[in-house]
Structure 1
Amino acid sequence: MTAQEQTAPDGWRVFHGTGSAPATPPDLPQPPPWRRFRGGPARPVPSADAEAASRRLGPGHITPQLGSEEIDVVNAALLLRRPLLITGPPGVGKSTLAYLISRELGLGRVLEWNIVSRTALRDGLYAHDAMGRAQAIAAWRAGLGQASALEPAEAAPAEGVNSALSSRDRQLPPVLGDFITLGPLGTALLPYDRPRVLLVDELDKSDIDLPNDLLHVLENGSYEVPELVRDAADTARVHTSDPGEHAEVRDGRVECREFPVVVITSNGEREFPAAFRRRCLPLEMRTPTREQLLAMVEGHLGVRPEGTEDLVDVFVQRVQSGGTHSLDQLLNAVQMTTAGGFQADGDGRKLVEMLLRDLAKGR
């Protein structure tokens, strides 16, 4: 970021809520001294998952503008290298914001960590397939035993023929790193040269201890894999959450180079500890306005079909009357009414009513 850009009225902002993919990813502001990390060596960020982003955001030709307050909070989180804690009713686009940030800033594939009541911190950091490793070691030892049984018969092999002994010498034991897979959080904290985007979805559904367990990792940007710390090898090549990708872990410790863009969503079903909230920047997302809803529909479908305004008006009216509704319902209703031959009156009207039903009623 140039000095001229920094002195402009909005020069400190790198995110503008347009959702448009840049030709060249913008430079991010330097982190404050207390949020600088020294992980290495630097790794390039994997390419974006265009299909996943398109499912969340649409093709990207038309995207709704966030409010200036929301944009400022996102930029503050980027500048301060702090997680965003996003609250709001279901279906208002909380998790979609992670994809919006990633697309606009060119930060590659979004890492998703979906939280349930049984989720523990280790699930997000890494998984160790101990059973698979034990089976691989047993198979390796069995292979050694079979090779040893063949040795007497192969005592004098013909010239140019490999002996069982030399074959056994070339057979290496299973490597521990082959059975370690870094989770979404663990992958996001690898030393990438640009920050990864991590979506921690519905943290309020977690066990009561998980937010507190996250504090150390979010503060220090690092963690250890105990199995690798105890291993004799100094370096291990492990799997990551990105399909087909691997990473080198030295001395069993992972530390980020650029703190990831952490987007934590909550439906407001519980209060988080003060120590956890202190480390996050809060962002409350409200139900989109009529104009924003129309833009979202057009962004996903590429066009604004006839009758969209009427469906949006019905949707807004039901939300304002206190119902629980999701943007997915509106998109489904618009898509149905544009299907060839579908009539939105008579029996078709009943189907539209079903698609726009109040989710709080359980049916």
Structure 2
Amino acid sequence: MNSTSLTPLEVAELLKITKNTVYELIKRGELPAYKVGRKLRIDKEDIDNYIKSQKSSSISSPDTQQQEITLNDIPSEKNETKLDDKSIIICGQDMILDILSRNIESSLPSIKSYRSYMGSYNGLYNLYNNKASIASSHLWDWETSEYNIDFVKKLLPGIPCTIINLTYRTQGFYVQKGNPKNINGWEDLKRDDLSYVNREIGCGVRVLLDGKLRELNISSNEINGYNYEENSHLAVASAVARGKGDFGIGIEKVAKQIDNIDFIPLQKERYDLVIKTNDLENPIYKQILNIINSDTFKDELEGLGGYDLKDTGKIIAET
């Protein structure tokens, strides 16, 4: 096949996705890209490979005669939309954030709401660096057994933040149908007859796993498959279903979407939104809180199933 160079916009049109999603695929290393001058280009062959395999790819290194790309070289949603009173960027991967984004645009027609599909750690980092308006977080601290609060304090030092609950989700192991390896809980991480499907650095699942390894005094070098990473709950569940690994961690809701998967519940996690406290004085953010607390929004989430909405809209902490 002759390699044809495409722009991010052309790739977006080809894949029927937004241009911002193309940038996210490049940032996460799922779609190789290179620079011609200051412009990004993607080879048609790499797009075909992405469609066929859905496997993560590494951005080319300098010795391939393609310029190495850093994340700063890739236009972010902030750079394109100029994060201001006319745009909102929400970081996180759960589908309920897509619903929130849609409700924001419906309630505030003059506001454009963008989604950035990155993990919790990187979302908080972007919030600190003014590259995001709102970050979702489900980061478990193995020393305190608490979610999010300590991470917000550490990753946004000196910046007052308000942590608002969105939902509770059940985290657990995805295992093959019938659980042929008899996997039951965290202690099974010590077994050398199992292969694991991991998540990328910076996401809440990876932080949870690494914390549990510390708690159980297990080295990551002892985990067969620790370096095999997928970039979503859905991808991990699919990999286990296809026999790419014996087990992996994810949320219960996704397990119900994949054939040949059983779910072993481990613990309930708190999934929160983090907003800079000063921003809450802005009428736009006040309306966003009204949306989260509205019966309409909660009813829509209730219809999805798999979410515990007992504290939705509740202020968990102010740091």
- Per chain length, whose mean CA-contact separation is higher, i.e. which structure has more relative contact order (CA < 8 Å, sep 6+)? 1
Q: TM-score, normalised by structure 2?
A: 0.27
- 1 or 2, which has the higher strand percentage? 2
- Bigger Rg, which one: 1
Q: TM-score, normalised by structure 1?
A: 0.25
